[in-house]
């Protein structure tokens, strides 16, 4: 079976990297000012809002909302704010965070890499998965960053099996890849259920969806008939069953 693994929140805990990069992007690049101190409470809030995030630019918006004292209580509320902010402004945030990442990788490469931690129970399986021809990483993150993070942990994952959405829906990419490979079924492992098909969505392939319990997931996401959930100790056995 073809397996698609999300990166952030499934393979890698990159919330610290996202916090630092988006903080610099919002304060230094967008607002052109730098607060003298970072209140710990802001960082805690950022971590607690992590489940609402779908891509890099969302982190920058999150910095802005926390700075403005906006309380976020649901995905719907966050998405309404995204709509109000608009695509042009979000693209500005995207350029800002990616320029910061480029700069950090150039000037503080080791520090940047250290802020991305591969989950140990996933790391145990990665060398084996890297050799499975039909196991892909599918992420909203740029493929080059994923390659860097994996290489820093000595994972030799073929670059052609790291897919970046570049703004497209993950399900479209899965569908195209399956039809190009003449395959009918896939497994999709995520920490953000919005990437899964909605209950009335029809696909022309079989898709088994798994929500990981170790990522930045909300409690109410854990009980939903649209997908299964997997705990840390289930990841290895599940991969052996699906990807072998």
Residue with tokens 């610290």, as numbered in its chain: 16
| Shortest distance in whole angstroms from residue 211 CB to Mg ion | 10
Residue nearest to Mg ion (CB): 9
Judged by CB under 5 A, the residue of 4, 9, 11, 242 near Mg ion is: 9
Angle, helices 56-67 vs 87-107, to 10°: value is: 100
Judged by CB under 5 A, the residue of 8, 13, 17, 58 near Mg ion is: 8
| Shortest distance in whole angstroms from residue 11 CB to Mg ion | 9
Task: Based on DSSP, count helices (H) and strands (E) in the chain, helices before strands.
Answer: 10, 8
| Shortest distance in whole angstroms from residue 30 CB to Mg ion | 24
Contacts of 120 (CB under 8 A, 6+ apart): none
If the CB atoms of residues 23 and 216 are measured against Mg ion, the closer one turns out to be 216
Torsion, CA 149, CA 106, CA 90, CA 77, rounded to 10: 50
Judged by CB under 5 A, the residue of 2, 3, 4, 6 near Mg ion is: 6
**Torsion-angle region of 203 (φ positive above 0: left; ψ -120 to 50: alpha; else: beta):** beta
| Shortest distance in whole angstroms from residue 106 CB to Mg ion | 26
If the CB atoms of residues 205 and 214 are measured against Mg ion, the closer one turns out to be 214
If the CB atoms of residues 9 and 66 are measured against Mg ion, the closer one turns out to be 9
Start-to-end Cα distance in the chain = 8
If the CB atoms of residues 8 and 58 are measured against Mg ion, the closer one turns out to be 8
If the CB atoms of residues 183 and 228 are measured against Mg ion, the closer one turns out to be 228
Which residues in 173-202 contact Mg ion (CB under 5 A)? Answer: 191
Q: Does 125 participate in binding Mg ion (rule CB under 5 A)?
A: no
Which part of the chain contacts Mg ion (CB under 5 A), choosing from 6-14, 32-40, 77-85, 205-213?
Answer: 6-14
Give me the residues paired with residue 2 across strands.
186
Which part of the chain contacts Mg ion (CB under 5 A), choosing from 4-12, 15-23, 142-150, 155-163?
Answer: 4-12
If the CB atoms of residues 30 and 101 are measured against Mg ion, the closer one turns out to be 101
* Type and span of the H or E element at 228: strand 228-230
DSSP helix/strand/coil, 212: strand
DSSP helix/strand/coil, 43: helix
Contacts with Mg ion by CB under 5 A: the residue count is 4
Angle, helices 87-107 vs 15-24, to 10°: value is: 110
If the CB atoms of residues 13 and 125 are measured against Mg ion, the closer one turns out to be 13
Rounded Cα distance, 200 and 53, in Å: 23
* Residues in contact with Mg ion by the rule CB under 5 A: 6, 8-9, 191
């Amino acid at each position: 079976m073809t397996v698609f693994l999300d990166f952030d929140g499934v393979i890698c805990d990159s919330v610290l990297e996202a916090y630092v990069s988006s903080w610099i992007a919002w304060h230094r690049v967008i607002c052109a000012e730098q607060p003298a101190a970072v209140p710990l409470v802001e960082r805690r809030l950022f971590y607690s809002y992590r489940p609402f995030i779908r891509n890099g630019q969302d982190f920058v918006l999150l910095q802005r909302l926390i700075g403005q004292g906006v309380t976020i209580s649901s995905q719907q509320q966050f998405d309404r704010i995204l709509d109000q902010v608009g695509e042009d402004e979000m693209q500005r945030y995207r350029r800002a965070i990616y320029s910061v990442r480029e700069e950090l990788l150039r000037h503080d490469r080791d520090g940047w890499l250290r802020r991305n931690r591969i989950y140990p129970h996933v790391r145990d399986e990665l060398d084996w998965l890297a050799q499975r021809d039909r196991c892909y990483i599918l992420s909203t993150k740029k493929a080059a960053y994923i390659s860097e993070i994996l290489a820093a942990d000595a994972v030799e994952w073929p670059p052609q099996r790291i897919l970046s959405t570049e703004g497209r829906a993950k399900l479209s990419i899965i569908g195209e890849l399956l039809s190009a490979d003449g395959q009918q079924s896939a497994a999709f492992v995520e920490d953000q259920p919005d990437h899964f098909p909605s209950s009335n969505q029809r696909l022309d392939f079989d898709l088994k969806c798994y929500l990981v319990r170790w990522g930045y997931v909300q409690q109410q996401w854990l009980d939903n008939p649209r997908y299964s959930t997997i705990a840390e100790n289930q990841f290895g056995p599940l991969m052996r069953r699906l990807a072998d």
